[in-house]
Amino acid sequence: MSPRSWPTRTLRAGAVAAAALLTLTACGDGGGEGGDAASFPEDDISMIVPFSAGGPTDTVTRLIAEPMGEALEVQVLVENVEGAGGTVGGAEAAQADPDGYTVLMHHIGMSTAPTLYEDLAYDPQTDFKTVGLVTEVPMTIIARKDFEATDAKDLITYLKENADSVNLAHAGVGSASNLCGLLLQDALGVTFNEVPYDGTGPAMTELVGGQVDLMCDQTTNTSSQIKDGSVKAYAVTTPERVESLSDLPTAQESGLDLEVSVWHGLYVPAETPDDVVAKLTEALQAALKDQTVIDEMAKLGTAPVAEDQATPEAHSAKLKEQTELWAGILPAGG
């Protein structure tokens, strides 16, 4: 159903909606804060991506936005609100009306922000409700296409011997590429010259152009450049090889103690009614079963999470566990 038809639908079904509302109220089954899922949604939904358009999180968001909209019978409109490692968009989402019409897509950065930012404008665990996990994306270690090292083992040797002259690009403090870069330096016992950019897109452009040497980023942002030879790829950071990049060894196969992936999830403001959250969760689960989503994610080296992970409960547990994990890692990593 087109979003333009919602006013007509609402008028024609007004009596039914009102009856449903009275039933919910009488039964006391409004879902936590007493919201009305029977009439939600009646308008388009804004899905905030706190990073630049064209980046890996934006790519994942746009894959699921359309099928989620189809499940909800409205449009899900992607809005890029970038800045400060994802915290600008995060703050805007936290302060939005808690009615289900503003949803935040964020990645692992929700678990690292409390450690990285002393004056964070929101608490990821108390100022939001979780909707469900979306996908967990492998990372890749890549370099400019004419970089000196020939393979992963050669890369490790080269980086240890030439760390002072290596420029490492990332998408800003707190970004996935920044976190992976920190872990890479820690695993090697070296320090690179870090070059932050305002988003992964500009960082990738500079790497392809040869202005920087090295980057560690998600397969959703690197797969096409790896396949067309725009960059030189050395390893993936998951325990197993990635099917769509099967020629790439894992970091551990190459002798590098590095394992990291980037999980993504959906959030709404904390006071959003539970029954509205439930409708969003149902739409997310439907989108993750969409064959186009599955196929496109596979091309990007990832996959939708299992249905039992696309739930508020699994998502909340992941956020808590990862927040505690990174609180211990980040101070030690500088």
Say which range, 39-53, 263-277, 301-315, 317-331, has the weakest mean pLDDT. Answer: 317-331
d(CA 267, CA 172): 22
197 contacts: CB under 8 Å, gap ≥ 6: 169, 170, 171, 172, 203, 206
- In the chain, which residues fall in CATH 3.40.190.10? 138-261
Residue 36 is predicted with a pLDDT of 60
Fold of 3-136+263-333: D-Maltodextrin-Binding Protein; domain 2 (3.40.190)
d(CA 214, CA 192): 10
Tokens matching residue 5: 């038809």
**pTM of the predicted model, to two decimals?**
0.77
- In the chain, which residues fall in CATH 3.40.190.150? 3-136+263-333
d(CA 149, CA 327): 33
Fold of 138-261: D-Maltodextrin-Binding Protein; domain 2 (3.40.190)
Three-state secondary structure call for residue 103: strand
pLDDT tens, position by position, 239-262 = 889 988 999 999 999 999 998 899
